[in-house]
Chains A and B, each alone.
Chain A
Amino acid sequence: MVLLAAIAYVLLSPVSAAHADETEPPAPTESSSPAPAAEPPPDGQPYIRVALKDAETDAPVTGVTLTVFDKADDAEIGASVTDAEGVMIVPIPGNGVYRVVLDEDTLPDGIELSSQTSNEIEITARFEVNPGLFPIGVQDVVTTPFAERLSGSLVSGVKFGLLVALAALGLSLIFGTTGLTNFAHGELITFGAMVTYAVNVGIGLPVVLSGIVAVLVSALFGWAQDRGLWRPLRKRGTGLIAMMIVSIGLGLLLRNLYQYLIGSSRKSLSQYVSQGRHDFGIVKLADKEIAIIVIATVTIVVTCVVLMKTRLGKSMRAVSDNPALAASSGMQVDRVISAVWILGTALTGLAGVLLAVNSQINFLMGFKLLLLVFAAVTLGGLGTIWGALFGSMVIGIMVEVGPLFGVPSSIKEVGALVVLILVLLIRPQGILGRRERIG
């Protein structure tokens, strides 16, 4: 009989720093275990990591499923499988008592828990939001220089800003041409992530292919939504406020449908879940983060060129300026709006795909982002392309860099929402918007 010892320890990111991994790899509580190789989630979230080792041979135990529950309400926080190093990581929302349950059925043949080891352990996550305090059980931590933390935050701010920008472009395009304030836009982001997950984990295609499929399906979803719902409503002469409330209903429906389909826990894709970061001197980036930044930038540039230079882009801008005039000049307004929906939802779906690759998939991921996307679009100016881009970058960097300057990181989104309200008050047309757009 082979004995197995489960060693679990909590590593919590210091809240003052934007990244858990900006600090030196903390020495684990059990000094016997070697430094872990799996990477924590890149977005600076606290997490629980568990390392499983064979007590006799000291070899890592792989392929074991562990599930983390919140002890207070027994809600599942997430589940993960130990990797080649025998390490698994589950992000947690914050302080609290968590229960980690080991699924004994997934233990490899010939390995079982020793008689003293229970398959459940309780972990109390407690950390103060004080810049001076560091993760519990960690010794010999070297503080990272401020400049390095700032550059790290800036880069992740840019990354986050680009993701928001993709979604904001979609929202802005649709708002610009149809006037619809779409409260179901967050669900379009989730849609991209969900399709990626379904194709990747359900069918088994590689993540890159799944992402492409997801963008295409998102575009199709946008087209179908316009044809099946919004166009008939426009034809009926439904008012904009009524359409806004319809979009609230649609959002509610889709959110719960997503939860129906994938449950309330966070899910991971099959590839690129935990990647090591390369040191580029002042910043450290994982390969997937570089890929996300490049893909988002290229997509945004291409979209802008299309909107600026092509006939389609010109007609989109014409319709958004004055639909009646566009129609009377012989443009087919409905076809242009269809194209806008296709383009807008494809961009938004791509944002969801990249978010899924960046961290994890959850039925609420888009809804949580919705207000930030609104903030970005309003900050730049509703209905303008450059405004949406500019606003997204400001919001992204503000959210990520804010904690470095004393914004409590558990409410780092609040700053962006305050900006949203301030902009609405002082300059409702946005920084780059034109006065007549606010009607």
Chain B
Amino acid sequence: MSTTTSEPTPAPGPAVAPQQVARTSKGAITAMVLAIAGLTLAVGITSPFAYVKARQALREIDAAPGRLTGRGMAQAAQILGIIGTLYLLAWVVIGFTAGIGGVELSGVLRTALNQAFGPNAIVYALAAIGLNVHFGYTGLLNFGQAGFMAVGAYGLAVSVVTWDLPFWLGIVVALGAPVVLALMLGIPTLRLRADYLAIATIATAEILRLVFGAVETKSVFGGSNGLTGYAGTFQDANIFRNWDIFTSGALGFERLDLGIVDFSKRDLWSMLVGWTLVAICCLIVWAMMRSPWGRVLRSIREDEDAVRSLGKNVFAYKMQALILGGLFGGLAGLFLALKQASVVPSDYSTNMTFLAFTALLIGGAARVGGPVIGAMILWFLISGLGAFFGQATSGSDPLVPSWLMDNTQSSLVRFIAVGLGLMLLMIFRPQGIFGDRREIAIDGR
């Protein structure tokens, strides 16, 4: 590699650029740091990034000869990045075949994929689809989605258990309750500024959760233990009940083993119903958002006053969006109630709203499929991290020393990571994976 020839020499002639002080390329330094970190601390995890960063830095340096130095460093970082990536690949291969320090990566991957396609992801996908209508398309900052989910779930449970109504009537109540909540919440609050709306909705969701869990309302809502015994009709309708495709898995539960994923009969039935619901909801959102009605919603997100000056009733449109999104939220709650056959007030906490928001932002707001992909990725990461650290801290000789992390603490790492991830996502890529930066209502007040 002849570096001397590539040194820029001020060419004789009139076109001499003003003398600039050459500085070392920042990209090259970053790449070098990542490469060294990958080889020493991070088991090669940062090495692929080092390689990519080094290539970018090389292009930048070549594009601006004389102004940026550090070509040698970038090249070194590129080579170290390749070595580190191979190192990482070796670990992955060993991890899948033999396991590292008691952690079997295939088991971790299995758990993660199970959850990414399982009923939990469906709940969050439905909730995030609702938030997408609110926040992604209309720009309404609803931090009370857990409240909509709670009234959906309790709508069914209370009608069937407390009022002794038939199951189908319970479903009707469960779908009516979020609409009523949206009307009650929307009429007064939709005039408020974004952050006030956020506080008002978060407070409403908390009020609902506290009232549902209170001792005083135990005869209706079942107190902190919640309600059970309403989902019989749903479970009896399970079409997989008599299918002969299940093998006896761990603890004697019958499971369908598909190699890398396995599901129980109940989960499979929940998934069939749930993913159908998700598909229908996505179809509705897709159809409505390409209609003139959807275009008005988007314009409200961009500039409310402009829409008003065109003679549109902004309040009515916002209300319709709140109802539609709330209905999806209620559906999420209803589905959660059906799949776990119990409603417990502590499930519908503010954290649930925040996680649904995270799912939406991962996939990308104002995109039909964004919330669905986001929920799957979120659950893949949450359960994958949980399984990894759970395994890494159990056994007699855990991979992670017990003074650093014990088995109880290991379940918290994933939520620390979610918090950190949400911050980084919002700072560096607010549009998520599929979103368009111009379509995110994050700059307004």
Contacts and interface: CB of A to CB of B under 8 A. Distances in A.
A129 B218 CA distance: 11
B326 interface: no
B215 A95 contact: yes
A425 B188 contact: yes
A241 B419 contact: no
Interface in B175-192: 188-189, 192
A211 to B, nearest CB: 27
Main secondary structure of the interface of A (DSSP, over half): helix
A250 interface: yes
B210 A251 contact: no
A240 interface: yes
Nearest to A254: B419
Contacts of A417: 203-204, 206-207
B419 A253 contact: yes
Given A241-B194, A374-B203, A253 B211 contact: no
A438 to B, nearest CB: 6
A33 interface: no
A165 to B, nearest CB: 18
Given A248-B422, A374-B203, A241 B443 contact: yes
A251 B199 contact: no
Given A414-B211, A420-B203, A238 B422 contact: no
A245 B422 contact: yes
Contacts of A414: 207, 210-211
A103 to B, nearest CB: 18
Interface stretch (A18-26, A289-297, A390-398, A405-413): A405-413
A254 to B, nearest CB: 7
Given A252-B418, A254-B419, A428 B215 contact: no
Given A181-B199, A240-B445, A250 B408 contact: no
Given A241-B442, A245-B422, A249-B426, A257 B196 contact: no
Contacts of A263: 408
Interface string A12-34: 00000000000000000000000
B412 A256 contact: yes
A241 B441 contact: yes
B354 interface: yes
Nearest to A232: B427
A375 B423 CA distance: 25
Contact of B215 (A94, A249, A420): A94
B416 A408 contact: no
A404 interface: no
B216 A256 contact: no
B426 A242 contact: yes
Contacts of A238: 427, 442
Contacts of B418: 249, 252
Interface in A242-276: 242, 244-246, 248-257, 259-260, 263
B412 A260 contact: yes
Contacts of B354: 248, 252
B214 A411 contact: yes
Given A259-B412, A410-B214, A252 B199 contact: no
B195 A252 contact: no
Given A411-B211, A424-B196, A241 B141 contact: yes
B199 A413 contact: no
B415 A256 contact: yes
Contact of B224 (A94, A181, A253, A259): A94
Contact of B199 (A179, A233, A418, A424): A424
Interface string A52-91: 0000000000000000000010000000000000000000
A411 B412 CA distance: 28
Nearest to B441: A241
A338 interface: no
B245 interface: no
| Most chain A beta-carbon neighbours within 10 Å: one of B196, B203, B215 | B203
Given A420-B203, A424-B199, A250 B423 contact: yes
B365 to A, nearest CB: 11
B350 to A, nearest CB: 8
A246 B211 contact: no
Contacts of B200: 420-421, 424-425
A257 B207 CA distance: 27
Contact of A260 (B351, B416, B445): B416
A179 to B, nearest CB: 8
B357 A245 contact: yes
Contacts of A244: 141, 195, 198
A246 B427 contact: yes
A123 interface: no
Interface string B239-269: 0000000000000000000000000000000
Given A181-B195, A424-B200, A249 B216 contact: no
A169 B204 CA distance: 24
Given A417-B203, A421-B203, A248 B444 contact: no
B166 interface: no
B216 A410 contact: yes
A132 interface: no
A362 interface: no
A439 interface: yes
Contacts of B358: 249
Given A181-B198, A238-B427, A251-B419, A408 B206 contact: no
Contacts of A418: 207
B361 interface: yes
B402 interface: no
Interface in A415-432: 417-418, 420-421, 424-425, 428
A124 B351 CA distance: 30
A195 to B, nearest CB: 19
B312 interface: no
Given A410-B214, A428-B192, A256 B416 contact: yes
Given A249-B426, A256-B419, A410-B215, A420 B210 contact: no
A246 B189 CA distance: 24
A202 interface: no
B184 to A, nearest CB: 10
A249 B354 CA distance: 8
Contact of B195 (A95, A241, A250, A256): A241
A371 interface: yes
Contacts of A413: 210
A239 B419 contact: no
B199 A420 contact: yes
Interface in A272-292: none
Contacts of A256: 412, 415-416, 419
Contacts of A248: 354, 357, 422
B65 interface: no
Contact of B419 (A252, A374, A438): A252
B444 A438 contact: no
B214 A252 contact: no
Given A242-B443, A248-B422, A259-B412, 19 more contacts: A238-B442, A241-B441, A241-B442, A246-B426, A249-B421, A249-B426, A253-B416, A256-B416, A375-B203, A378-B199, A411-B210, A411-B211, A411-B214, A413-B210, A414-B211, A420-B203, A424-B189, A424-B200, A425-B200
What 5 A-B pairs come out closest when comparing CB atoms?
A253-B419, A249-B422, A252-B419, A239-B443, A249-B423
Interface of A: 72, 94-95, 129, 179, 181, 233, 236, 238-242, 244-246, 248-257, 259-260, 263, 371, 374-375, 378, 408, 410-411, 413-414, 417-418, 420-421, 424-425, 428, 438-439
11 contacts: A241-B445, A242-B427, A245-B357, A245-B426, A248-B357, A249-B426, A375-B203, A421-B200, A424-B192, A425-B200, A438-B193
